[in-house]
Structure 1
C-alpha cells in the first residue's frame, strides 16, 4: 500500500481531503481545497507507535505532517479520528501495516510533549507540574491568543455579533450576578488564571476578592495588572494551591475552569473544601468543561492529555451535581454554554492566526502547532457535542434552610 493510500484509508471513503506523500503518491479529489501532506517516513512511524489521535498529533507537531488550507475544516472532514480514537480493529490493521516503518525510522517524541512525573495522581506536586506545563509558557503568547481580557475560559456571548472582549466581560458579569455579589462581600476565586474574575468583582461590584492559581506566570501577571488598575485595596492574587487557602467565611466562591484538573476521585474533597470556605448563605458557581453523557469516559483525548491538559479529567454534569449535593450544597441552577465555547474557541483560533509568526518566534514551532491543533479540534468538539460547558450554582444553606436566593433568577437571560 502506497503512503497516500494508507492515510486515505484512515480518513475513510468519500473524504474531501487530498492526500499527497513523499513517495509521489496521491489520493483524494485533485481539486480539493483541503490537503494533507505526508512529508517523511517518520509520519508513518508516529502513526505506527500510536495509531489514532496521538500518533497523528505527534506527526503534525513534529512537522512530518503538513496541512494545506484551513485546519478547522480539515479536522471537520477528519473528525472521526480527530475527536475519537480509531476503532480497535483498524488500529490492529494499521499496526501490522506500519510495523516496518516503526522499526526502520526513528520518530522521537516531540520535546513539548508532557512526561508525567512519578507520584500520586493529583498530588499537590504533580498538579503543580501539570499546570506549569500548560500555563507557564509565555504571558505574551497568551495575550495574543486570548486578547486583552486574558480570560482563558468560555465566554458568554450576549448576541451572535458580540466580540470576544464583550463576551468575556459578560461571562464575568454573569458569574458575579449568579453569586449575588454586592459591595463589601468577600469572594474566593479558585484557579483564578490571570485574575479576570478577581478584578471584575473588585472593579464592578466593590467586592474584596482573593484569587489563587498554581501558575507562577499567571500570578505574576495578575498582580502587576491589579496594581496597574489601582485595585490593590480590593483584589489579590496568590501563587497558591486552592487546598492551601487558610481563610474562611467567604460570601461567595467561583471556580471557573478548575474542575477539569481535579480528577473524579478528588471531587468529594474538592466540593467539601469549597463548602467549608463559605459562610451560611454563601454561593458557589462551578464553571467547567463536561462530558456530554453520564456514560462517557472521564479521561480526555490522548493528544489533549499529553500536550495540553496533563492529568485532566472531565465529568458529566450529573456527577458534578451529585457530588455538590453530597457535600452539602443545595443546587439551584445549571446551564449548558456549549455553543458559547465553540464561538470562544473560534475567536482564539482567529487571534492565533493573526499572530502566527510572532507566536512561533515566542514559543517555538512545535508549541505553536500544538495550540493550532488543540484550539481547532476543541472548537469542533463543542460544535459536535463531544464536550460541553456547564455552570452549576449551589448555595450553603443558613439557619432554618434559608437560601437567600431570589424566588426567580435575577441575573437575566
Structure 2
C-alpha cells in the first residue's frame, strides 16, 4: 500500500486533506486547500512507533512532515485523531500497514519533548523541584519569543473581549480590570498574585487601583522581565514580582488573592492544600479570584501523561471540572459569590496569538528554533479547536473568606460594577 494512502487511513479520509509522500505517492482529494507532506522514512518510523496524535506531532515538530495550508483548519478537520487518538485496534492496523521495518528504526523523540524519566528523577508529581522544571520547560523559552506571540501586554492567559472588534491588548486590559473589580480592589489594599507570569495583574492593580501587589512565579525569566517592567513604569513602591514557589510566601493578611492560570499546574492531589494555603493568606472578608482552564465535565481524563500536551507543552498539567474545584473551595471555607465560563474568549485569545506567531514566524524560528516554533503553532491551533468544541473551558470563580460572624462584605448587587 502506498505511503500517502496509509497516512490518509490513519488521519481519516473524511478529513478532506490531501497527502503526498517521499515515495511519490499521493492520496486524498485533488485541489484540497490542505496537504500533509511526508518527507522522509523517519516520519513513518515516528508514526509506526506511536500511531495517532503523538507520532504525527513528533514527525511534524522534527520537520519530517510538513503542513501546507492553515494549521487550525487542518486540526479542525482532523479533530477525532488530534483529541481522541486512535483505538487499540486502529493502532494495530496502522502498524501492520506501515510494516515492521519502521518499528525497528531508532528514532528518538524531538528534543522539545519532556521525557517522563527526566521528570521522575526530580521527585514525585508536583514536588517543588519537579514543578520548577515543568514551569521552566514551558515558560523559560525566551522572553523575546513571548513578546512576539503575546503582544505588549505579555499576558499568557485568557483575555476578556468587551466586543467582537476589540484588540488583544484591549481584551487583556479588560481581563485584568475584570479581576480587579471582582476582587473590589481599592487604594491601600494588599494583593497576592500567585503564578503571576510577567506581572500583568500586579502592575494593573498597582497602576490603576493603588494596590500594593506581590506576584510570585516559578519562571526566573518571567520574574526578571517583570521586575524591569515594574521599574520602567515607576511602580516599584507598589509592585513586586519574586522568583519563588507560591508555597514559600511568608507574608499573610492580604486583602485579596488572584490566581490566573496557576491551578492547572497544581495537580489534583494538591488542590485542597492549595486552596487552604491561599485561605490562610487572606484576612477575614478577603476575596479570591481563581481563573483556570477546566474540563467540561467530571467524566473526562484529568491527565494524559502520554499525550502531546503533557510531553511538549505543560508537563504534569492536570485539568479538573469547575464543579469539583468549587467544591474544594467551599470545603476549604470560601463562600462562592460568582462564577462564569469564558471559553469562547480563550478561543479568540488563541487566534490572536496564532496570528502574532505567523506574523513573526521567521524571527521566532531564528530565536527558538524551528522545532519549538512548530510546537507552539501546533498546540495553540489545537487549543482553539478545543475551546470552540467545548472540550476545554475557562472559568473564573470568585470566593470570599467570611469573617467570624459570617459576613462577606459583598454588596447586594456587585455585578452592576463589573464590565
How would you bin the TM-score normalised by the shorter chain? over 0.9
Q: Hey, what does 2:368 align to over in structure 1?
A: 363
Residue by residue over 1:349-372, the C-alpha shift from the partner in whole angstroms, topping out at 9 and shown as x without a partner, is 000000000000000010000001
- Structure 1 unaligned spans of 5+: none
Partners of 1:13 and 1:216 in 2: how far apart? 46
> What is the alpha-carbon distance in structure 2 between the residues aligned to residue 410 and residue 218 of structure 1?
35
Equivalent of 1:178 in 179, 182, 189: 182
Indicate which of 248, 263, 267 corresponds to 1:263.
Answer: 267
2:194–2:215: 8 Å Cα contact kept in structure 1?
yes
- The answer on 1:273 being equivalent to 2:269 is no
Instruction: Show the 5 A alignment for 1:48-197.
Output: 48-115=48-115, 116-118=119-121, 119-197=123-201
Offset of 1:244 from its aligned partner? 0.3
1:308 aligns with 2:313: yes
Indicate conservation of the 8 Å contact 2:48/2:103, yes or no. Answer: no
Q: 1:100 and 1:360 mapped to 2: Cα distance?
A: 35
SS of the residue corresponding to residue 145 of structure 1 reads helix
Report the CA distance between 1:294 and its aligned residue: 1.0
Q: CA deviation at 1:166?
A: 0.1
CA positional deviation for 1:102: 2.7
Q: What's the CA shift for 1:411?
A: 3.5
**Structure 2: stretches of 5+ with no match in the other structure:** none
The one of 299, 303, 314 aligned to 2:303: 299
* Contact 2:49-2:103 within 8 A present in 1 as well: no
Q: Distance in 2 between the 1:79 and 1:101 partners?
A: 29
Name whichever of 82-91 and 306-315 sits farther off: 82-91
Taking the TM superposition and a 5 Å limit, the aligned residue runs for 1:215-294 are: 215-294=219-298
CA separation in 2, counterparts of 1:194 and 1:256? 12
Counterpart secondary structure, 1:14? helix
Cα distance between partner residues in 2 of 1:91 and 1:122: 32
Aligned-pair distance for 1:98? 3.2
RMSD in angstroms over aligned alpha carbons?
Answer: 1.1
Q: Distance in 2 between matches of 1:126 and 1:271?
A: 20
- C-alpha distance in structure 1 between counterparts of 2:324 and 2:49, whole Å: 34
1:334 aligns with 2:324: no
The offset of 1:307, in angstroms, is 0.6
Provide the rounded CA distance (Å) in 1 between the counterparts of 2:271 and 2:379.
26
- The count of residues paired between Structure 1 and Structure 2 equals 413
Q: CA deviation at 1:412?
A: 2.6
Q: CA deviation at 1:117?
A: 3.7
Aligned to 1:391: 396
TM value normalised by structure 2: 0.97
